Amino acid sequence: MITELALGAGLGASVIALTSSKSSAATEAEVLASVVRVMEAAPGVAAVAAVVASSSNNKGNNVSLAEFAAIQETSSVPTNLRLDARDIRTLFAIAAKGAPAQTVSVEAIANVANNFAKPGAAYKAATSLASTPAIAVVYKPRTIDDLIGGHASPAFKEFFKSSFNFALASVAGAIGATFVYPIDLVKTRMQNQRAKVVGETVYKNSWDCFKQVLKNEGFVGLYSGLLPQLVGVAPEKAIKLTVNDFVRRSLANKDGSINLGPEILAGCMAGGSQVIFTNPLEIVKIRLQVQGEVARKTGAPKKGAVQIIRGLGLFGLYKGVAACLLRDVPFSGIYFPVYAHLKKDVFHEGKDGKKLAIGELLVSGAIAGIPAAYLVTPADVIKTRLQVAARSGETTYNGLFDAARKIMAEEGPKAFFKGGVARVLRSSPQFGVTLASYELIQQFMSKYITV
């Protein structure tokens, strides 16, 4: 529950007067503390209001300061939920929207209690009160010091901040991956389709591949390997987003801006850092994605993710890691700067305090993904070929350069862009949804905590 409030510029003299003790005027800090106390005691306030309403049989009946205090003392409200005389005056001031009030309606008091007692309605309640010139109540999010203590070291605070952003990025990554997973499966099937393999299903294009998977394996077939993907994509995307944010902050100028070179470097470092999770994740995911067509043609039983991991071993999970780096480092080096500049230069984020709408975030993320995804398709094709177990009659590859040479010799240069359209159709919306989700989650959480 939010427990911090700040009184805005519209704080009325009437509220100061109502919360003053005798002749000395209350300071803004004292008023703030009193409003906080009213909010914390909301359940007790509601209980007293209910007693008043039931005794009068008239919900709109007025109650005075003295009557409220007397009923509170004789009620069963716990001591920790009772208000003192000053806080009762604050309650009446809020109920009367800032006007001097010795009496207010029971309904008005109940409304204040109900609004303050519901965390989900807190922002709405604050907005309503802020609309009156006499008392502007604005909710402030909690800070790191509130959560972990003001004496925590700077290093621990930075660790906490990174962990918090890591958690948000994990959720955003899972949302984005689920949204585009069928396209990712089509992309993998297209890239693994090799020339002159007896009995191999020939996919004419990405759409044909989608239709054949749906026809032969059903809707569930489009999500083969999703669970391992979600298990891995959360830390993968979280590392990428967290590292990019951290490096950008570290390399930013004093005014908060960042030059293009450091901006690209931040993206490249983000892409490189994720490979420790990306490579094992993708080799398992790819083998799960292609085994559906293998099982249909050969009758071989499907393997689960655990079986695949056991069969590969630790070193096997990092097969194709060079190609993975060759794909992920330039991808992020292109993606993050383009995304940042689209937000800033096209949609004018930050100008006059502007925050982008979800549509603008989605468009920025999606457009940034187009060149980033397509330009690194050759590395993605090589990685896929290295990570899929070759079947009888298929070409085998021994490393990055051997794979590139054999693909060129057997299939020509166009083979390096197999699944390129599907990759764009997957990566573009995936990162659009992921980045938009990440920023929207950050915006939502900023109402409750600042890091």
d(CA 228, CA 217) in angstroms, rounded, equals: 19
What's the burial of 402, exposed, middle or buried (CB within 10 Å: 0-12/13-18/19+)? middle
Q: Which of 116-120, 227-231, 253-257, 271-275 has the lowest mean pLDDT?
A: 116-120
- The answer on 270 and 136 residing in a single domain is no
Of 109, 140, 171, which residue is a domain's last?
140
Considering the chain, what is the average pLDDT of its residues? 77
Q: Which domain holds residue 183?
A: 154-445
* Residue 450 belongs to a domain: no
198 and 64 within one domain: no
Residues 69 and 195 in one domain: no
Q: Tell whether 362 and 318 lie within a shared domain.
A: yes
Domain final residue, candidates 111, 140, 169: 140
| Mean pLDDT along residues 389-393 | 68
Residues 124 and 174 in one domain: no
Same domain (yes/no): 246, 163: yes
CATH code, domain carrying 307 = 1.50.40.10
Residues 158 and 64 in one domain: no
Kindly state whether residue 437 falls inside one of the protein's structural domains: yes
Whether 145 maps to a domain, the answer reads no
Q: Are residues 9 and 100 in the same domain?
A: yes
Q: In total, how many domains does the chain have?
A: 2
Residues 311, 186 share a domain: yes
Q: Is the pLDDT confidence value at 162 over 80? A: no
Look at residue 32 in the predicted model and tell me its pLDDT. Answer: 65
State mean pLDDT over 85-109. Answer: 80
Last residue of a domain, one of 140, 172, 194: 140
Within a domain: 10: yes
* Structure confidence at residue 326 (pLDDT): 94
Residues 237 and 292 grouped into a single domain: yes
